[in-house]
Amino acid sequence: MIRASIVGGSGYTGGELLRLLLFHPDVEVGQVTSERLAGKFVQNAHPNLRRVSSLKFCSIGDLEPCDALFSCLPHGEGLSQIDLFQGVTERLVDLSSDYRLRRTDDYPRWYGHSHPRPELLDEFVYGIPELHREKIRRARWVAAAGCNATATLLALAPLYRAGIAKQAIVEVKAGSSEGGNRVSEATHHPERSGAVRSYRPTRHRHVAEIMQELGTSDVHFSATSIEMVRGILATCHVFLSQPMDEKALWRLYREHYRDEPFVRIVKERSGIYRYPEPKILAGSNYCDIGFERDPDSNRVVVLSAIDNLMKGAAGQALQCFNIMFGLDETTGLEFPGLHPV
Amino acid sequence: MIRASIVGGSGYTGGELLRLLLFHPDVEVGQVTSERLAGKFVQNAHPNLRRVSSLKFCSIGDLEPCDALFSCLPHGEGLSQIDLFQGVTERLVDLSSDYRLRRTDDYPRWYGHSHPRPELLDEFVYGIPELHREKIRRARWVAAAGCNATATLLALAPLYRAGIAKQAIVEVKAGSSEGGNRVSEATHHPERSGAVRSYRPTRHRHVAEIMQELGTSDVHFSATSIEMVRGILATCHVFLSQPMDEKALWRLYREHYRDEPFVRIVKERSGIYRYPEPKILAGSNYCDIGFERDPDSNRVVVLSAIDNLMKGAAGQALQCFNIMFGLDETTGLEFPGLHPV
Amino acid sequence: MIRASIVGGSGYTGGELLRLLLFHPDVEVGQVTSERLAGKFVQNAHPNLRRVSSLKFCSIGDLEPCDALFSCLPHGEGLSQIDLFQGVTERLVDLSSDYRLRRTDDYPRWYGHSHPRPELLDEFVYGIPELHREKIRRARWVAAAGCNATATLLALAPLYRAGIAKQAIVEVKAGSSEGGNRVSEATHHPERSGAVRSYRPTRHRHVAEIMQELGTSDVHFSATSIEMVRGILATCHVFLSQPMDEKALWRLYREHYRDEPFVRIVKERSGIYRYPEPKILAGSNYCDIGFERDPDSNRVVVLSAIDNLMKGAAGQALQCFNIMFGLDETTGLEFPGLHPV
Amino acid sequence: MIRASIVGGSGYTGGELLRLLLFHPDVEVGQVTSERLAGKFVQNAHPNLRRVSSLKFCSIGDLEPCDALFSCLPHGEGLSQIDLFQGVTERLVDLSSDYRLRRTDDYPRWYGHSHPRPELLDEFVYGIPELHREKIRRARWVAAAGCNATATLLALAPLYRAGIAKQAIVEVKAGSSEGGNRVSEATHHPERSGAVRSYRPTRHRHVAEIMQELGTSDVHFSATSIEMVRGILATCHVFLSQPMDEKALWRLYREHYRDEPFVRIVKERSGIYRYPEPKILAGSNYCDIGFERDPDSNRVVVLSAIDNLMKGAAGQALQCFNIMFGLDETTGLEFPGLHPV
């Protein structure tokens, strides 16, 4: 059994990860930390784990050695704990944005502060298995990718890797769980319910990851918060540098993702689920990808749907973990999602 | 023109009342107070009033004389301001629960504290026009009824006044705006969205008003918060002391409410709107009432739907105001609601 | 491996059952029938099973022998197929309402027609394991209980079995999946979204099951459709024949459900999930039960939450199946639900 | 009083228009036609008009002369009735897409059939007052614009008229009422609720109107159906041909819309309503427009929100009518929308 612990386990990604680990056949959950809830049962924060687990939260100061550590601390808060993490574990998956960008310049530009430990940036592998599986297999430290970045990158990578994408405009529709469990006027139900709120028309931080991984700066991004708790749909308008017919696009995407256990090409002639739909992905680790050519221009619209807490966070982190430990990549991630829901 | 001011105008009922007053042909809005937002434009709290009004909030200390004052302060906060109110206005409509109960004993029992100004309780008229129109016409002070109490009382009054109701079990389904605009974990969107939350299975405070007005203590009440921002549906199971056929029930309700401008008997053979439905009442002052006899027992299910911010708060307050000032009762309250919505 | 087939597998309960069976370690899915979709892949009806299963629907006429058969045909449609079912299987779990009532008189009374095969009624065991586990263990045929009846019966059984309940008024809040996948004006999104629709204020058919199992006719029931796809909350107002304090109630419920793998007593002092909440049960087979005494009367409000497609249909059917085949009752039913969602 | 009638009045836009006309001080509602509901009260289709109107639907064959006729027939169905319309009225506002495009070639290209009465196309004025007010004032026939086109055009017109827009990618988020009241599997609540459905990634028909009015073909459009009944948010990514600073953009939009009664520039530093939000526009005729410059490129994101049934259909049609009859343009359109809702 692999002993795995979670730092910052009272939030939404921590709870989701705990749920997954509790049912993982090769994992024994070590500790789950929360300063706010130390000493309380995990079901206080995660009511779905009632009776499923009798674990209690502990303080980060009480962390014991483990085989793998997942950090679900809020962005920025894990930076000062990195030495502590090194002291207790060999393998770390960090779900925050603290180590995703490789270039030190990118931190002041996108996060407004310089990175306190720039020497560590090269140690982390950017955690999207479909892009960096071999590096993750050999990694000690993984920086799990951002949720919007994951949806966008899986949609765009085939076109950019083939060198045929010229420009992309990405419009993400996202749910309220993306913002975590801190209350605010913005998330007060009478205000947030039914909202179609432009969250970041420009300069969303996930753009930095997207540009880094695609190797281009001609990607434009906006995010809109809609009535939904879990889920992301990325609608990516890509302008190609050369005409490409339907068949060639099919071939390109199929070749890229044929062997991927969690990427499904969704492209049907008819039916209400003929395009990727986040609604039916809640709880699943799939990334569904579809596309449609505009016959009147060189635009292709690529659609990508995920559950932001699964393939966009905890699920992807566990997928990385499975790879790092040589396990079947899908272990503990088989739940296919519900319909209807 | 009647000069009307609002105390505590930054919350949801205050905003709704302001919206109504701004379009009322006989009213000139005097002042709107908010300690938190004093000096700011009202659209800061009420984005739907953008360009509609260029009023600014002022402090309660700057209140000037007016013909009518509406108090939308949170429950309890207006108690200490009552002398100030008396100093600036002749006519007051208080939308809080501070003066609804006539018996001094009821305050410690239901609110946990004794009333600081018991001598004033007799001065206030309980503000449901359909029950106390003549008293309201002559009143200087009106205590507008609670939202759940309004829906329940309008449903039950005909049966209780006719002396044929023995017992009632009332189950209210309510939206999130009922709780006001204070943020909390309970109203955080990922938690509140899609919730079916038992809010008060027993001992809801509005029961006190209901018992007082019906003159019985054999009324049992629970409230459930559901996915909805505005709206209340009260499902009232009434056990009759004597058998009563459909026709007699019809006659009873029709006689009671025939001349009421804001009560509609909704009872159709078919169609998806054959029972009262709060969904189509948002923004309207109607209380829709329907009923269905159980052929197998002496139970009648009476259904009652309102918009909690309108007939359950601001709309009803304005209706009382119209009566107090001898205006047509429906002035400024004509909006019929939207469909679909 | 137990070979199990599904008749009427294109609907919501059929799809949910298929999802469960595909991940059940002791089951091999035989056939799934649908006359409308015969020859098509199951993902046409159940998009969440994309890539999970490559099964195709077949016609009921092509049914082959199997170890267990689940019938998910709409109410009434399976009556004429019962001989065919007998020909292919030893063990049948029928999810329709066709064989739930034991008394032949009840069919004309509640369903408007006499039962065509009254001699079979005694052969069926009413399928709620918490009430009839031993009979189910020995049963060849099980009639899985109705969803609203399941939530209500699990809430009320302890009080009725103890002989201390005098009268119950049950108010069920239900989601739209309860109505199945047939489209109608009533389920058209602009009309159904945000609705608080009195579905059956009186004479709901599930009352017949409830009365039969509780052995009383003094149970009163209404159902309200709310904004939700999956889920039921039953709010049960029970009047006791004798006073009973909190502790005694606790003891009663704990004794009843202590060993039940799928019943959780939910009763906490604080927190937003201190009462049963269907929102966090989607996909899980739990029935969460809580209660609150009214200190001012002999009323107890018992709350009960389930996922109507799981503990209210497919999950419960599989639980019965596990018992019939001597398997661990929780096999294939471990999914704990998501939070937030 | 102006006598106005509605053809095809049982649908959502017809009902919305009827609601507006019933409260319009200068209008007397003549007839409302519906073949399906002829002889029935209008409240059968429009439950919000209960008691508000005692009109009955009549057949189109019974249409009598009127001062103004609104056609709310489904797209294509009014084409054969145009001579009948001419026989009964001087002034027609057609809310369908039948006469919006001026070039005869555009019909086969976008609608798949040639126009049966091409000689009439020049007679119709495209009905967006902010773009064609003077023509509408003199018009006998107006073709009210499409809802998505209205939101998009009001967002983009200032930039295109100033000649500084090079390319635009428009992503519209839309509610379910846009599809009208015909039921289908796509609108079945369990499927449509919570959906994030790519409706038309490419080749949406409203693109034809947008291209026509902007005089460019470099506009790219996709629409996504989200959980919402009413409302549109258009997120328009515009690439400018020259750099433009914030102030210049402000000046441009302010100059364009300063005197427009129904266009509000929404652009605040903070607050959850600092960008246009359709949620608070239900029932109002406003189009709220905001924008944000990307400091890293020549992209401007222009945001535009409307109620699709108001400014996107019935409200805009009435606004056109007010202009055609020399009335104050805002008459009957003063409702500001609700908050919260």
Q: How far is CA B137 from CA B93, B132, B145, in A?
A: 12, 9, 16
The SS3 call for residue B7 is strand
Nearest Cα residue to D66 out of D49, D39, D91, D41: D91
Structure pTM? Answer: 0.98
Give the whole-angstrom CA distance, residue B128 versus residue B114.
24
> Do C308 and C175 contact (CB within 8 A), yes or no?
yes
| pLDDT number for residue B113 | 93
ipTM here? 0.97
Mark yes or no for CB contact B194/C341 under 8 Å: yes
Q: Which chains touch D (3 or more CB pairs under 8 A)?
A: A, B, C
Distance from CA of C185 to the nearest CA of D (A): 6
Share of chain A above pLDDT 70, in %: 100
User: What H or E segment, with its residue span, contains residue B288?
Assistant: strand B287-293
Contacts of A178 in chain C (CB under 8 A): none
Distance CA D142, CA D91 (A): 8
What does the alpha-carbon distance between residue D259 and residue C26 come to, in Å, rounded to a whole number? 72
Whole-number pLDDT of residue C198: 97
- Listed residue (B221, B213, B203, B214) closest to B110, CA to CA: B203
Residue D175 and residue B322: Cα distance in Å, rounded?
37
The predicted structure's pLDDT at residue C5: 98
**Residues found in chain C:** 341
Number of cross-chain residue pairs from A and C with Cβ atoms under 8 Å apart: 76
Q: Which residue of B has its CA nearest to C292?
A: B201
pLDDT of residue A168: 98
Which residues numbered 271-290 in A keep a CB inside 8 Å of some CB on C?
271, 273, 277, 280, 282-284, 288
Please, which pLDDT band fits residue D91 given cuts at 50, 70 and 90?
A: very high
Alpha carbon distance, N-terminus to C-terminus of chain A: 34
SS3 B118: helix
CB contact under 8 A, B189 and A193: yes
Among candidates C211, C204, C201, C199, which has minimal Cα distance to C105? Answer: C211
D243-276 residue pLDDT tens: 999 999 999 999 999 999 999 999 999 999 999 9
Amino acid identity for residue D317 in this structure: A
| Cβ–Cβ under 8 Å, residues D202 and A299 | yes
Scanning C196-225 for CB atoms below 8 A from B yields 196-198, 201-203, 217, 220, 222, 224
**Distance separating alpha carbons of residues D288 and D266, to the nearest angstrom:** 6
**A331 at C interface, C-beta within 8 A:** no
B-D C-beta contacts closer than 8 Å = 78
> What's the first-to-final CA gap in chain B, in angstroms?
34
Distance CA B245, CA C261 (A): 47
In total, chain A counts a number of residues equal to: 341
Helix axes D206-214, D147-161, angle to 10 degrees: 20
Find residues 28-57 of chain A whose CB sits inside 8 Å of chain D.
none
CA gap A219, A155 in Å, rounded: 13
State whether residue D242 is helix, strand or coil: coil
pLDDT digits (tens, 9 = 90+) for D287-325: 999 999 999 899 999 999 999 999 999 999 999 999 999
Question: Which residues of chain A lie closer than 8 angstroms to D275, CB-CB?
Answer: 197-198, 201
| C147 assigned to active site | yes
Rg (CA), chain D: 20
Phi, psi of C249 (to 5 degrees): -65, -45
Q: Given this model, what pLDDT does residue D90 score?
A: 94
Q: How far apart are CA D110 and CA B242, in angstroms?
A: 67
Instruction: Classify D73 as helix, strand or coil.
Output: coil
Report the residue of chain D nearest C189, measured CA to CA.
D189
Mean pLDDT over the full length of chain C = 97
- The one-letter amino acid code at B266 reads V
CA distance D287 to D153: 11
Would you state the structure tokens that stand for residue B260, as one six-digit string?
């009421």
Alpha-carbon distance B216 to nearest alpha carbon in chain D (angstroms): 33
Question: What is A291-333 written as a DSSP string?
Answer: EEE-TTSSEEEEEEEE-TTIIIIIHHHHHHHHHHTT--TTTT-
Find out whether A192 and B189 touch, Cβ atoms under 8 Å. yes
Looking at this protein, which amino acid is placed at residue D39?
Answer: G
Q: What percentage of chain A has pLDDT greater than the value 90?
A: 99
C252 and C162 Cβ atoms separated by less than 8 Å: yes
Residue B192 has which token pair? 């509140």
Q: Verify whether the Cβ–Cβ distance D192 to C194 is below 8 Å.
A: no
Q: What pLDDT is recorded for position A332?
A: 98
Q: How many CB atoms lie within 10 A of CB A62?
A: 9
Q: Is D14 helix (H, G, I), strand (E, B) or coil?
A: helix
- Residues facing C293 on adjacent strands: C300
Contact at 8 Å (CB) between D74 and D100? Answer: no
Q: Tell me how close the Cα of C190 comes to any Cα of chain D, in angstroms.
A: 5
CA distances, D316 to each of B229, D119, D308, D310, D321 (Å): 27, 25, 10, 6, 9
Q: Which residues of C touch B295 (CB under 8 A)?
A: 202-203
List chain A pLDDT tens, one digit each, 341 residues. Answer: 999 999 999 999 999 999 999 999 999 999 999 999 999 999 999 999 999 999 999 999 999 999 999 999 999 999 999 999 999 999 999 999 999 999 999 999 999 999 999 999 999 999 999 999 999 999 999 999 999 999 999 999 999 999 999 999 999 999 999 999 999 999 999 999 999 999 999 999 999 999 999 999 999 999 999 999 999 999 999 999 999 999 999 999 999 999 999 999 999 999 999 999 999 999 999 999 999 999 989 999 999 999 999 999 999 999 999 999 999 999 999 999 999 99
Query: Which residues in chain A are contacts of C336 at CB distance < 8 A?
Result: 19, 48-49, 52
Q: Which of C282, C193, C314, C37 is nearest to A271 (CA)?
A: C37
The one-letter code for the residue type at C201 is: P
Q: In what order do the strands lie in the sheet with B124-127?
A: B57-58, B27-33, B2-7, B66-71, B89-94, B141-144, B124-127
Residue type, D340: P
| Of C235, C157, C172, C236, nearest in space to C202 by CA | C172
Cis peptide before B25 (omega within 30 of 0): no
What is the average per-residue pLDDT within B319-336? Answer: 98
Instruction: Report CA dihedral (D277, D281, D287, D289) to the nearest 10 degrees.
Output: -20
Residue recorded with tokens 């057609």:
D94
Instruction: Measure the CA–CA gap between C125 and C140, rounded to whole angstroms.
Output: 9
d(CA B198, CA D114): 59
Mean predicted confidence (pLDDT) in B293-322:
97
> Could you give the CA distance from residue A274 to residue C44 in angstroms, rounded to a whole number?
10
Q: Which residue matches tokens 């390109």?
A: A252
Helix (H), strand (E) at residue A116? none
D180-216 pLDDT, tens digit each: 999 999 999 999 999 999 999 999 999 999 999 999 9
- Chain D residues in contact with B46 by the CB 8 A cut-off are 339
What pLDDT, on a 0 to 100 scale, did the predictor assign at position C152? Answer: 98
Q: Which chains touch A (3 or more CB pairs under 8 A)?
A: B, C, D
Q: What is the mean pLDDT of chain B?
A: 97
Task: Name which of D183, D185, D189 is nearest C193 (Cβ-Cβ).
Answer: D189
Question: Judging by beta carbons within 10 Å of its beta carbon (0-12, 13-18, 19+), is residue D12 exposed, middle or buried?
Answer: buried
Among residues D144, D165, D147, D146, which one has the least CA distance to residue D156?
Answer: D165
- Are the C-beta atoms of D323 and D135 separated by less than 8 Å? no
Strand-by-strand arrangement of the C141-144 sheet: C57-58, C27-33, C2-7, C66-71, C89-94, C141-144, C124-127
Comparing CB atoms, the residue among C51, C52, C338 nearest residue A283 is C338
Question: What is d(CA A85, CA D292) in angstroms, rounded to the nearest whole number?
Answer: 41
Nearest CA in chain A to D229: A194
Helix, strand or coil, per DSSP, at residue C156: helix
Percent composition of chain D: helix, strand, coil (DSSP 3-state, to 5):
35, 25, 40
CA distances from B66 to B77, B315, D23 (A): 21, 20, 31
**Distances, alpha carbon D327 to alpha carbons A80, D14, D129, D203, D319, in Å:** 67, 21, 13, 38, 9
| Gap between the terminal Cα atoms of chain D | 34
Find all residues with CB under 8 Å of B244, minimum gap 6, and list them. Answer: B164, B252, B293, B298, B300
Beta carbons of C188 and D177 less than 8 Å apart? no
Do D220 and A275 make contact, defined as CB atoms within 8 angstroms?
no
Look up residue C6 and give its two tokens. 């599904």
- Which residue in B105, B110, B196 has the most chain C C-beta atoms within 10 A of its own C-beta, making it the best mutation to test that interface? B196
Distance (Å, rounded) from C-alpha A193 to C-alpha B190? 10
D126: number of Cβ within 10 Å: 22
What whole-number distance in Å separates Cα of residue A289 and Cα of residue A302?
7
